Structure 1
C-alpha cells in the first residue's frame, strides 16, 4: 500500500505550533514509508477566513522545511496547485460535495433539516435544564418527500444532517489510542451541509480524504470525539476507512492546552524571535514522540529515519521554553558564523546599531562581532542586547564586585601599560591580543585574574561574557582607548 497522508489546516490565521507538529509528524511518516504528503486547505467556514493566511501557512512550513508533494504552493508570489487530486482548496470543491451529499440523501444516510436557530436553541436549553446531553432531537428525521419538496419550494432555509443509526456500537482502532467503541445513542445527527451550501468539516474531510487516497489520518486529539461519525460516513458511502492516529495535545506549563495567553504559540512568533528552523523542528518532534533512547539532537533527516507512530505517547507534552532555548542555543553554536551573521543583521539594523550603508564596508567587522557573541544567545533577537557592549560610549559596572576589582593596586599600572601597547599595535586580531597579555605578564608580573578580569571589566563593565580576545579585536584601538580613559576618570580612585 502506498502511504498517503495529509495536513489540512484552516486558513484562519497563523500556523499554530501544534499545527506544525501535526504537519511534521505527517511529513516524517510519509518520509519513513516513501509515501506522499498532501496539503489541503479547509476553508469551508467562510466567516473565519483571514486574508493571507494560506500564504502564511505555506511560508511557515517551507521555513521549517516540512514540505508537501501535492496541494497549494507559492510560485512567483501567487498560489498555484499541483497534483492529480485537486482542487486542494475546499471552497473550490463545492460541486464535488454536492454530488456526494446527494448520494447520502438517496441512500437514507442523510436528511434535510428545516429547524430554525430559535427552535434549536430552545430544545438545547430544555435538554440542559433536564440534565440531558444537548443535541438535535431528530425533529426533521422523518419528514415525507412531499413535505420536504414543499419546504424547498417555499425557499425555507435548511441544513443537511447525518442520519445516525440508533443504538449502534461504532468501533475503530487508533494507532495511539488503541481500540475505541462508542454508541450512536451518545452522538448527534451531525450537520453535513450548512445553510450557506458549504460542507461542514465532518463531511468534507471524509469525501476529500477518500478521493485523495489518504491512507493514514494523523491529526490532533481534539478530533477524536468526531471520529465515530466519520467512521459511519465511510460506512454510508461503502468505503474502507483509513487508519486513524490522534496525537496528544501540546500543553502549557500548567498542563492545560497550549494557549497564546501564556506565551508564543505561532510559528511566526518563533521565526521573528530568531529561532532556527532545525531547532524548532527538533524540539517539537520530541513533544509527544520519543526515539527510544536518550538522544535529543536530531536533524530532520535523522527524524525521518527514526520516526515511528507506535512510539507516539497518549499523554500531552509540556512545551518547555527553557528546553527549546537550550536546544536553539546548541544549533546557533553549531551553525556557521556566516549564516548567523546574515540572520542577525535584521535585528542589528532594527536597533540602529548598524546602518544599511555599513553592511558592505563593515561586513567583516560585523561578522567578527557576531562570532564573539553568538555563543551567548538562546535566540537571535537577543543579539543586539549582547552587541550593546561594542557600541556604547560609556562603561557601566554591573555590580559592586566589579568596582572593587578596579581598586586593585595593580590597576593604574595595568591601564597605562595596556593602553600604550594597544596604541602601538596595528591590525589587532585575537592572536596579537593574546601576545599583548603575554608581554604584560612577562614585563610587569601581572598575571591571571589580576590581569584578565580587570581588563574585561574596563572594556565591558562585566566580569563574564564573550571571548576577551575577540572583544578586543572587535572594539579596535580607538574605542579601547576611549573606554580605558573613561574608566580611569570615573572609577579609579
Structure 2
C-alpha cells in the first residue's frame, strides 16, 4: 500500500448528534490515515434536507476536536476539493447523472406514489414482495417503456420523475471487503435504486460515489449497515468507468440486552450514554450529557472506543493516540458485532486518572473554596494519594474525601438507630481514653490499641468509623485518625456520644 496516497473520509449526516458507532467510524478512519501517512477528510452528507438538524455540524466538529482526531481537510478545515457539503454540489451530480442516462445505465421513472402503492398491494395480495427491478420495470411508467417522443413530451410537460439505476441481471458480482473478504452478490436480487429524487436532489448512493471519486478517496471505512449498498456502489463505479476504492465495513456496536445495535433512536432506553459530548435537543432544549460532561477523559474515551471492535493482538489495553496509530490495522478488526460495557469504559477512565493528579487537586481546591475551607497543598496531595484508588472520575474525589475536612453533621440512620444504647456510649468512652493517651498519633501506633478486644472489635470499629466519617465507608480508619489528628478525632467521638445520649 502506498504510504502517501491513502485518502479516507468521515462523512456524517447532519441529522443529530454522533453516537458511539459514528465517532468510532471517524476514529478508525483517522487512525488508518495517520498509520499510512495519508489524509483524513470530513465531508457533510446533507442530501436528506428533511431530517437536517441545525446544530449537528457544530456538534460534529466539537466532538472530533474533543477526541483529538481532527481532520486534515474538509468542512471547517478547507482543502482542494471544495465544497465539502453535498448540498452545494448539485450541479456536479447532475452532470454525472446525465452521463449515466446517455450511456443507458439509468432511466427516468414517472410512477406516482399511487402507482407504486397499487403495485405493492397487488404483489402483497399474491403473497409476493414488490421490488422495482428488472422483472417488473418494463411494466412500469418509465422511459424504458416509452418512445423518445413520448419521453420528451413527458419531460416538457414537467411531469414529476425520479432517476433510477438500471441493474443488469444475470451476474454474480464478486466484491472484496478488507474486513470480511470475498462477497458474491447475484444481481438478479438487486432493485433499481433511485439516484435522483423527484425534488432534483441526489440520493446518498449517487452523491457518495461521485464525491469519493472526485475527492480521490482510496479507502471507504464505514459501518456494517452500509454493506448491502456496496454492490450498487461498485456497479456505479463500473458504469462511470472509474476504479472503485477499497471497502471495509466495520462491525456494529451492540446492546448488551440483546436488542440489536445502539442507535440514536433507542438512546432513551439504554443504561449508558451513547454521545461523546452533550447534546442539546433543538426543539425542547433538553440537554443530554455525553462522556465529556460525565467526567471521562478524551484519552480514555478514545482508548476505550478503539478497542471496541479492534484488537492489536497483544495483552496491553492502555494506548496513547500515537500508539493506537502505530498499532492500527484493518486486519485486526472484528467481523462480528461487539458489545458495549460501561464498566469497562469506567475502568479505562480510572487508568488515566492516575495521570491527572493536578486536575484532581484543582477540583478539590474548588470544592473546599466553595465551603470557605483552606488546607496546605501537602495535606491535600496526601488526601488525593489515599483516596485515588477509590474513584473513577475527578468529580468523585469530594465524595470520598469530604470527611477529612468536615465533621459529620448527621449519621447513617440505619446503623445509628441500632447503636443508640448505653453499651455504645461505654465503648466510645473507652475509645476516647485510648486516643487521649496516645502520644505519637500515627496509624502505626494507633492500630495495636484496638486489637485486644477481638470479640467486640468489629462493632467498635464500625462505631469509630461512624463517629469520624458519619457513614460506614472511607479509607483505613487508622489513616483517617492520623490525618485528622488527636484533637479533631476526639471531638468527633464526643460528638457522636452526645448525639446518642440525646436519642436515648
TM-score (norm 1): 0.83
Which residue, 489, 498, 501 being the options, matches 1:489? Answer: 498
Change (3 A) 1:164 1:386: same
Change (3 A) 1:313 1:446: same
**Matching residue of 2:284:** none
Change (3 A) 1:97 1:441: closer
SS at match of 2:208: helix
Deviates more, 1:222-231 or 1:92-101: 92-101
Answering whether residue 346 of structure 2 is matched by residue 325 of structure 1, we say: yes
**Matching residue of 1:429:** none
Deviates more, 1:287-296 or 1:400-409: 400-409
CA distance in 2, matches of 1:18, 1:281: 12
Change (3 A) 1:162 1:462: same
Deviates more, 1:233-242 or 1:380-389: 380-389
Deviates more, 1:91-100 or 1:3-12: 91-100
CA distance in 2, matches of 1:455, 1:362: 24
CA distance in 2, matches of 1:48, 1:384: 43
**Matching residue of 2:208:** 205
Deviation at 1:275, TM superposition (A): 1.4
Deviates more, 1:410-419 or 1:244-253: 410-419
Deviation at 1:314, TM superposition (A): 1.0
Q: Is the 8 A contact 2:432 2:490 kept in 1?
A: no
Count of matched residue pairs: 467
**Matching residue of 1:124:** 120
Q: Is the 8 A contact 2:75 2:84 kept in 1?
A: yes
Change (3 A) 1:114 1:445: closer
Deviates more, 1:249-258 or 1:447-456: 447-456
1:249-298 superposed Cα distances (whole Å, 9 cap, x missing partner): 11111332124222322112222211122222122212211111222222
Which residue, 70, 74, 77 being the options, matches 2:73? Answer: 70
Which residue, 242, 255, 261 being the options, matches 1:257? Answer: 261
In the TM superposition, what are the counterparts of 1:344-363 in structure 2 within 5 Å?
355=370
**Matching residue of 2:89:** 93
Deviation at 1:65, TM superposition (A): 1.4
Change (3 A) 1:343 1:180: farther
Which residue, 327, 337, 344 being the options, matches 2:357? Answer: 337
**Matching residue of 2:298:** 277
CA distance in 2, matches of 1:82, 1:187: 38
Change (3 A) 1:327 1:398: farther
In the TM superposition, what are the counterparts of 1:375-386 in structure 2 within 5 Å?
375-380=389-394, 382-383=396-397, 385-386=399-400
Change (3 A) 1:395 1:314: same
**Matching residue of 2:409:** 393
SS at match of 2:13: coil
Q: Is the 8 A contact 1:168 1:185 kept in 2?
A: yes
Deviation at 1:443, TM superposition (A): 9.0
CA distance in 2, matches of 1:310, 1:225: 21
Gaps in structure 1 of 5+ consecutive residues: 74-80, 425-433
How large is the Cα RMSD of the aligned pairs? 3.6
Change (3 A) 1:475 1:276: farther
Q: Is the 8 A contact 1:398 1:462 kept in 2?
A: no
Change (3 A) 1:238 1:479: farther
Q: Is the 8 A contact 2:63 2:276 kept in 1?
A: yes
In the TM superposition, what are the counterparts of 1:16-31 in structure 2 within 5 Å?
16-31=19-34
CA distance in 2, matches of 1:401, 1:315: 54
Deviation at 1:336, TM superposition (A): 2.2
**Matching residue of 1:6:** 9
CA distance in 1, matches of 2:292, 2:447: 47
Change (3 A) 1:466 1:129: farther
Which residue, 303, 310, 322 being the options, matches 1:289? Answer: 310
Which residue, 159, 163, 169 being the options, matches 1:160? Answer: 163
Which residue, 180, 188, 199 being the options, matches 1:177? Answer: 180
CA distance in 1, matches of 2:261, 2:417: 45
Q: Is the 8 A contact 1:402 1:463 kept in 2?
A: no
CA distance in 2, matches of 1:183, 1:442: 80
CA distance in 2, matches of 1:472, 1:11: 56
Deviation at 1:206, TM superposition (A): 0.3
SS at match of 1:172: strand
1:208-237 superposed Cα distances (whole Å, 9 cap, x missing partner): 111111111111110000110000000011
Q: Is the 8 A contact 2:442 2:481 kept in 1?
A: no
Gaps in structure 2 of 5+ consecutive residues: 278-289
Deviates more, 1:188-197 or 1:459-468: 459-468
1:19-65 superposed Cα distances (whole Å, 9 cap, x missing partner): 11111111111121111111111111001111111111111121111
Change (3 A) 1:419 1:155: farther
Q: Is the 8 A contact 1:397 1:461 kept in 2?
A: no
Q: Is the 8 A contact 2:411 2:471 kept in 1?
A: no
**Matching residue of 2:102:** 106
Deviates more, 1:367-376 or 1:230-239: 367-376
Deviates more, 1:53-62 or 1:400-409: 400-409
Deviation at 1:331, TM superposition (A): 1.8
CA distance in 2, matches of 1:112, 1:176: 36
TM-score (norm 2): 0.81
Q: Is the 8 A contact 2:435 2:486 kept in 1?
A: no
SS at match of 1:185: helix
CA distance in 1, matches of 2:471, 2:170: 73
Deviation at 1:381, TM superposition (A): 5.3
